[in-house]
Amino acid sequence: MQFALNDIQLSIKKMAREITVKEFAPRAAHVDETGEFPWDNVAQMRDAGFLGMTIPEEYGGGGFDEVSFNCVVEEISRACISTSGILCAHFLGVKPLIIAGSEEQKRKYLPLLAGEMLGSFAITEANAGSDAAAMATSAARHGDEYVLNGTKVFITNGGEAGQTIVFAKTDPTAGARGVSSFIVEKGTPGLSFGKKENKMGDRGSCIRELIFEDCRVPRENRVGKEGDGFKIAMKTLDDTRTSIGAQAVGLAQGAFDAALDYAKQRVVFGKPIAQHQAIAFMLADMATEIEAARLLVYRAAALLDAQAERYSAESAMAKLFASEMSHRVVHKALQIHGGYGYMKEYPIERFYRDQRIIEIYEGTSEIQRMVISSNLIR
């Protein structure tokens, strides 16, 4: 058993930390205030090779492992979860191609996704969120094309991404087995975008509706076999949920660092509040929980690197525990700041709002408990 990152993982983590401190942290408050999509940050991530990190080298990527990728997500999230969220959503558009794409699809799209094109993943609908198989978007086969009709909601990177993996029913009577997946490029006639949603937190990343009206997609853009789409989506989420856990660890670490600094400086009753046991014990609990979550995240990522047969439960555990841990940590971090924590002058107010989405996207905590318990019972 190995508990230490190797030299490559450590140097990638350090590089992500340096870019975050220099580039993303100074812009984070502005991104939050304006809600502007941070293209500058995306360009920095592209230049650093983060957009192609785990894409195999033969397809133009970096060929790095999942542990390294999760370290990058963690470090960026210490300052800006909008930026790390864009990266995670990008990989939701990449993974289905790695899992089930044809050789032609991989050769055509992965080099683009490793550099110049953002990806995204469209499964959620107004009446099909947690119950993803209840989707109503249809893909009817007409000769060499599929004709897509329906509306997807809350699609991260929607409207900004050059490519989206879209899940739609090719057989509306077959439930989960009637779902297929398609690569749909931005600019395809019949695809339009709804307005950018106005969110409570994570305000830099953008979510939009994707509207399909007789949107014709060539047959060669179907990913995997007809009817395999739901399994491809589930396998993708198994791969990517860990990185949402990494976001939670990074965000909690950022909130903890701010609370520790504040607690060392703020003096009440004649000494810094960090020296009052009420606060010192909070700090001890926060640090312990962050470390426990970090280990769960790294373990789930290492299982993925080891190509373990199934790691659904482990990635769901990492996401569940880390996201709920980050809730407890930001709560305490704001409490330590007292009234100042409630003010926009301090970053903790943003962390508090940003945290909430981590317990919801890529499957709510309740869905993670379903995944974990069904794997225990099976």
Q: Which is nearer to ligand COS, 259 or 357 (CB)?
A: 357
Q: Out of 6, 130, 265, 373, point to the residue binding ligand COS (CB under 6 A).
A: 130
Q: Does 235 bind ligand COS (CB under 6 A)?
A: yes
Distance of alpha carbon 362 from alpha carbon 360, whole angstroms: 7
Residues 6+ apart with CB under 8 A from 143: none
Stretch that binds ligand COS, among 43-51, 57-65, 106-114, 363-371 (CB under 6 A): 363-371
Q: Which of 96, 204, 224, 363 binds ligand COS (CB under 6 A)?
A: 363
Rounded to whole angstroms, how far apart are CA atoms 226 and 371? 24
CB 289 within 8 Å of CB 329: yes
- Compute how many other C-beta atoms are within 10 angstroms of the C-beta atom of residue 153: 19
As a residue count, the chain comes to 378
- The site that binds ligand COS (CB under 6 A) totals a number of residues, namely 21
Look up residue 344 and give its DSSP letter. Answer: T
Piece of 9-17, 255-263, 300-308, 362-370 that binds ligand COS (CB under 6 A): 362-370
Cα–Cα dist 362/354, whole Å: 15
Q: Rule CB under 6 A: say whether 295 interacts with ligand COS.
A: no
CB-nearer residue toward ligand COS: 16 or 132: 132
Please report how close the Cβ of residue 232 comes to ligand COS at its closest, in angstroms.
8
In the bound complex, what is the minimum distance in angstroms from residue 24's beta carbon to ligand COS?
Answer: 22
Binding flag, residue 230, ligand COS (CB under 6 A): yes
Closer CB to ligand COS, residue 335 or residue 375?
A: 375
Is residue 176 near ligand COS by the rule CB under 6 A?
A: yes
Q: Tokens standing for 220?
A: 């060669």
Of 284, 282, 252, 231, give the one whose Cα is nearest residue 355: 252
Q: Minimum Å distance from CB 361 to ligand COS?
A: 5
DSSP string, 1-31: ---S--HHHHHHHHHHHHHIIIIIHHHHHHH
169 touches ligand COS by CB under 6 A: no
Q: Which of 66, 74, 359, 362 is catalytic?
A: 362
Q: Which of 229, 262, 290, 271 is nearest to 74 (CA)?
A: 290
Binding segment for ligand COS (CB under 6 A), chosen from 63-71, 80-88, 259-267, 356-364, is 356-364
Catalytic-residue membership of 362: yes
Q: Which residues contact 175 (CB under 8 A, 6 or more apart)?
A: 133
- Token digits for 27? 């812009």
Binding mask 311-330 for ligand COS (x = CB under 6 A): -x------------------
Per rule CB under 6 A, is residue 234 in the interface with ligand COS? Answer: yes
Residues sharing a CB contact under 8 Å with residue 54, sequence separation 6 or more, in sequence order: 61, 62, 63, 64, 65, 66, 69, 91, 94, 98
| Residue 124 is a binding residue for ligand COS (CB under 6 A) | yes
Closer of 275 and 365 to ligand COS (Cβ): 365
93 binds ligand COS (CB under 6 A): no
Provide, rounded to whole angstroms, the least separation between the CB of residue 149 and ligand COS: 20
- Count of CB atoms within 10 A of residue 298's CB? 24
Interface residue with ligand COS among 133, 168, 248, 279 (CB under 6 A) is: 133
Residue 46 near residue 100 (C-beta atoms within 8 A): no
Binding of ligand COS by 127 (CB under 6 A): no
Q: Which stretch binds ligand COS (CB under 6 A): 8-16, 102-110, 125-133, 219-227?
A: 125-133
Going by their DSSP bridges, the two strands 207-218 and 191-193 should be labelled as: antiparallel
* Sign of the CA dihedral running 276, 281, 282, 284: positive
Asked whether position 123 contacts ligand COS by CB under 6 A, the answer is: yes
> Of these, 19, 132, 279, 286, which contacts ligand COS (CB under 6 A)?
132
Q: What residues are labeled active site?
A: 362
Which chain residues interact with ligand COS by CB under 6 A? 123-124, 130-133, 176-177, 230-231, 234-235, 237-238, 312, 361-363, 367, 370-371
